Amino acid sequence: MKQTENKVNMGPIKNPELEKVITELKEGSTPEKQIALIEALKKASLLAPCDFDVKLDPNQKMPKNFNPQQIKFYLLNTNDGKVLFPAFTDIEMSQKTSMGPNVKPKYVVRTMKDYDTLLQAPENKANGIVINPGQDNIVIPMQLIAVASGRTVPKPAQPTAPLNITFGEPSVYPTKMVNAIYERAEKTPEISRIWLKGKFVGQTMSFYLIVEAEKQEESVLNAIREVAVPLAKDIPVEAVFLNDEIKEKIIGKGIALYDRDLAL
């Protein structure tokens, strides 16, 4: 695919701001977090796995006579039919994901402007990028890349009335996620009970996990999020500790999905 710049990675690439936003998004998406994601993407320099038939001299920053069309970028196909460019926040993340048996990809540095150019190419088949595939799996669609690259401007949000937040039984029951939560709770002695509710904001639902624990430490909630998020099928997951208000207004007489006193 045609490129306008030849950015060959010659030094360590780090994206701490983007990684921080990704960690926060795993706990649930909000409009504020989406704005923070766009701002982080604007500054990000990502490692793009590729192949090119050019030998690099260790003392040479750029190869001579380098034609951008010699770069062949790898693509990933998802189970739901999407085609995405894999991208990594640092070299450590890139080493955790295989591009295929006996494949040793090279890497070039790409920004959102570079990806926007790739995605607009006539021969392009991709729908966007996936950041840290196999680990974070954060999908950035081409429309969001266009905004982060500065090519398009997001439409200003129209003032609306506050959305009513309600809680009830989830409209989708995530059996695999529930089983994984149960197994993790059994291995986490601080946890005594966990409830699963659906949190509804307008027409949008998120899984709302309420944790009763002897020690209300963030590591306890992280242990539950770690197994819940990958199995939530892109539905946001929130995890909170039990308190009197939640017990009265949200749980009521609801039955816990995990109860250490009743565990077999």
Question: Could you count the other beta carbons within 10 Å of the beta carbon of residue 114?
Answer: 20
Structure tokens at 151: 């090519």
DSSP class of residue 68 equals: G
Which pLDDT does position 236 carry in this prediction?
A: 92
Q: Where residue 67 falls among pLDDT bands split at 50, 70, 90?
A: low
- The pTM for the full model equals 0.55
Residue 60: the pLDDT is 42
Give the pLDDT score at 157: 56
The two structure tokens encoding residue 86:
């894999």
Going by C-alpha positions, the residue among 179, 187, 181, 76 that lies closest to residue 128 is 76
**Kindly report the CA angle at 86 between 221 and 80, in degrees rounded to 5?**
75
At 142-156, the pLDDT tens digits run 999 999 999 998 766
Quick one: pLDDT band at residue 11, thresholds 50, 70, 90? low
Which residue's structure tokens are 């926040």?
Answer: 89
Rounded to 5°, the CA angle 67-71-75 comes to 160
Q: Which residues of 69-93 are buried (b: 16+ CB within 10 A; e: fewer)?
A: eebebeebeeeeeeebbbbbbbeeb
> Across the chain, what does the average pLDDT equal?
85
Distances (CA, A) of 60 to 56, 115, 185: 7, 25, 53
* pLDDT at site 47: 94
Phi-psi region at 92: left, alpha or beta (left = phi > 0; alpha = psi -120 to 50): alpha
pLDDT in tens, 120-142: 999 899 999 999 998 888 999 99
**Residue 264 reports pLDDT greater than 60:** no
Please say if the pLDDT value at position 240 is more than 50.
yes
**Domain 165-259: which topology?**
GMP Synthetase; Chain A, domain 3 (3.30.300)
pLDDT band of residue 263 (cuts 50, 70, 90) is low
What is the mean predicted confidence (pLDDT) over 77-92?
Answer: 89
Bridge partners (DSSP) listed for residue 210: 195, 240
Whole-number Å distance between alpha carbons of 118 and 21: 24
Distance CA 13, CA 119 (A): 23
Domain with CATH 3.30.300 in the chain: 165-259
Check residue 7 and give its pLDDT.
45
User: 160-177 pLDDT, tens per residue?
Assistant: 556 688 999 988 888 999
